[in-house]
Amino acid sequence: DVKVTQSSRYLVKRTGEKVFLECVQDMDHENMFWYRQDPGLGLRLIYFSYDVKMKEKGDIPEGYSVSREKKERFSLILESASTNQTSMYLCASSLYPGQGAREQYFGPGTRLTVT
Amino acid sequence: DAKTTQPTSMDCAEGRAANLPCNHSTISGNEYVYWYRQIHSQGPQYIIHGLKNNETNEMASLIITEDRKSSTLILPHATLRDTAVYYCIVRASGNTGKLIFGQGTTLQVKP
């Protein structure tokens, strides 16, 4: 079974703090993704990575950065946390699609509250 | 990626089959139909996907109409643990990017 783990289930941070969210997958997947989920807005893609040290912006990258130094690990960084970044953050991974369909496997999520 | 339409909510009796419909009338020839579900406060869980043939795995069956404009996810013997939001997503092969989750169908399995 694919396993995607996230460093924390719940996190409370203060405005202006630097926040690191870690994600690790154990299936040697090339692709990794960070989404945030908010009521009424669904899941929105923040960043994704298709290889080590490679990254692509998603729909809402502002205020976030990412790091992928190793294939199994993808980190989301909030450089200076703000209250509008209070959300559920979800990490996912998948094989590189190529010409086929590739399902994404999600972690349990991190509920971040910025006060 | 094509747009999908699902009912907002459905009920199902425990032990009965749950049939969740999805319309995707603008689907293109290279687009797959995926189903995910999200149990409250957890990350989405992949269920099944298909291109044009019906598919079955240990969790569910996926029935795709011949014209591919709609599909049905079938949970053959629903349990209380199947209560979740179910998302139908259409996405092209070779797409390295996002999944577009709509509002999904909230399935309530009742004893």
Are residues A42 and B102, on separate chains, in Cβ contact within 8 Å? yes
Q: pLDDT confidence of B3, banded at 50, 70, 90?
A: confident
Residue A80 CB-half CA count within 13 A: 1
**pLDDT of residue A88 exceeding 80:** yes
**pLDDT of residue A16 exceeding 90:** yes
Are residues A42 and B99, on separate chains, in Cβ contact within 8 Å? no
For residues B38-44, average pLDDT:
91
For residues A21-40, average pLDDT:
92
A112 touches chain B (CB under 8 A): no
Are A25 and A105 in contact by the 8 Å Cβ rule? The answer is yes
A31 touches chain B (CB under 8 A): yes
Are residues A101 and B93, on separate chains, in Cβ contact within 8 Å? yes
Q: How far apart are CA B25 and CA B4, in angstroms?
A: 8
Q: Best of B99, B103, B105 to disrupt the A interface by mutation (most A CBs within 10 Å)? A: B99
Are residues B44 and A90, on separate chains, in Cβ contact within 8 Å? yes
State the burial class of residue A81 (Cβ atoms within 10 Å of its Cβ: 0-12, 13-18, 19+): buried
